[in-house]
Amino acid sequence: MGHGRRSVLLAQLEPRRTGSPQLAILDELRRVILEGGAPPGTPIPLAEVAALFGVSPIPVREALKTLVGENLVAHRPNAGYVVAQLTRRELSEIYLVRGVLESAALRAAVEMATSADIAAAAQAHAMLETLQTDWDPRSYHRASRHFHLALIVPCRMHRLQRMFESAWNVTEPFQPMRWLPGAERALLHGEHTAMLTAFTTRDAEALLRIAGQHHDRLAQVIASLPERAGLLADPEDI
C-alpha cells in the first residue's frame, strides 16, 4: 500500500524549473495534499521528490518543514515524512474550531457583502451544482472550499480568514464527502443552497442557523468515517 500511495503522490506533482525551487516544491506538495491526491498517511519520499524537481534534498526538506508547521505533513523518526494523520478526536476538534471561526466571519460578512460579493458566492454555488450532478469528490471538495470562502471573504477580517483557511487546510485531505452515499451528499448540498439564499437576502440569523446545521452534519460524517479508509491515526501513535 505504501508503494502505491507513493507513486500516486509523485505522479501528481508538476515540477517547475523557474523561480525558487523551495517555493515550487512547497506549492506543489501543498496543492496535491489539499486536493486529496495524497491521502493522510501517504509517504513523501524526499529523495524521489528531489530527483523529480532536479534539486538536492535541501529545498525539499525545507518545504516539508514548512508543511509540518502547517499541520499538513508529519515527520516520523523511523518512517520519514508522511501526509499528516489525525485521530478521530483531533479531526473533530479541528472541525469544531473551523465551525466557530466560520460563524464569526459569516456574521460580519452578511452585513458587509457588496453586490459583487453576492455574485461571487452565487457563481461559486453554480459550480457546486454542476459537480453535485456530475459527481467528482475531489473537484466538489475544492469547489465547496471556494464557496465557503466566498461567503466569509466579505467580512474583510483578514486574520480571521487566514485562521479559518488554516483550519480548513488541516481537514481537507480527509475529504469526508467521498464516503457518503448520494442521498446524504444531497442533504449537505441542499444546505449550501440554503446558505446562499440566506446570504443573498442578508438574513444573518438564518445563515448562522443553517451553517450550524451544516457543521453538525459534517461532524456526524467525521464520527462515522470508516476505519478501513486508512485515513485516521491510531491514538497510541500520536
Between CA 168 and CA 107 the distance in angstroms is 18
Between CA 33 and CA 11 the distance in angstroms is 13
Position 182 pLDDT exceeds 60:
yes
Position 52 pLDDT exceeds 80:
yes
Per-residue pLDDT, 234: 64
Between CA 230 and CA 186 the distance in angstroms is 25
Per-residue pLDDT, 184: 87
Per-residue pLDDT, 238: 47
Q: Which residues contact 26 (CB under 8 A, 6 or more apart)?
A: 63, 66, 67
Range of the domain at 30: 2-83
Share of the chain above pLDDT 70, in %: 92
Identify the band that residue 105 occupies on the pLDDT scale cut at 50, 70 and 90.
Answer: very high
Q: What values do phi and psi take at 223, rounded to 5? A: -65, -20
Position 6 pLDDT exceeds 70:
no
User: Last residue of some domain: 83, 108, 134?
Assistant: 83
Q: Are residues 94 and 210 in the same domain?
A: yes
- The answer to whether 168 and 98 are in contact (CB under 8 A) is yes
Per-residue pLDDT, 9: 87
Q: Are residues 74 and 163 in the same domain?
A: no
Mean pLDDT to the nearest integer, 80-108: 92
Q: State the CATH number of the domain containing residue 118.
A: 1.20.120.530
* Residue with grid cell 444531497, as numbered in its chain: 186
In this predicted model, what pLDDT tens digit does every residue of 73-88 receive, in sequence order? 999 887 799 999 888 8
Indicate whether 173 belongs to any domain.
Answer: yes
Per-residue pLDDT, 230: 62
User: Last residue of some domain: 48, 83, 118?
Assistant: 83
Three-state DSSP at 43 gives: strand
Indicate whether 232 belongs to any domain.
Answer: no
Q: In the 8-state DSSP scheme, what is residue 114?
A: -
Indicate whether 215 belongs to any domain.
Answer: yes
> Which string of b and e fits 147-159 if b means at least 16 CB within 10 Å?
bbbbbbbbbebee
Which amino acid, one-letter code, is at 99? G
Per-residue pLDDT, 76: 84
36: phi > 0 → left, psi -120 to 50 → alpha, else beta; which?
A: left
Q: State the CATH number of the domain containing residue 58.
A: 1.10.10.10
Position 179 pLDDT exceeds 80:
no
Q: What is the mean pLDDT of the chain?
A: 88
* Residue with grid cell 523551495, as numbered in its chain: 22
Q: Are residues 32 and 115 in the same domain?
A: no
Identify the band that residue 180 occupies on the pLDDT scale cut at 50, 70 and 90.
Answer: confident
Position 41 pLDDT exceeds 90:
no
In this predicted model, what pLDDT tens digit does every residue of 183-208 receive, in sequence order? 888 999 999 999 999 999 999 999 99
Per-residue pLDDT, 4: 44
For 123-164, give the DSSP string.
HHHHHHHHHHHTT-HHHHHHHHHHHHHHHHGGG--HHHHHHH
Q: Are residues 97 and 77 in the same domain?
A: no
Position 45 pLDDT exceeds 90:
yes
Q: Which residues contact 37 (CB under 8 A, 6 or more apart)?
A: 8, 9, 12, 138
Q: Are residues 128 and 35 in the same domain?
A: no
Position 123 pLDDT exceeds 70:
yes
Indicate whether 16 belongs to any domain.
Answer: yes
Q: Which residue has the higher pLDDT, 136 or 226?
A: 136
Per-residue pLDDT, 162: 94
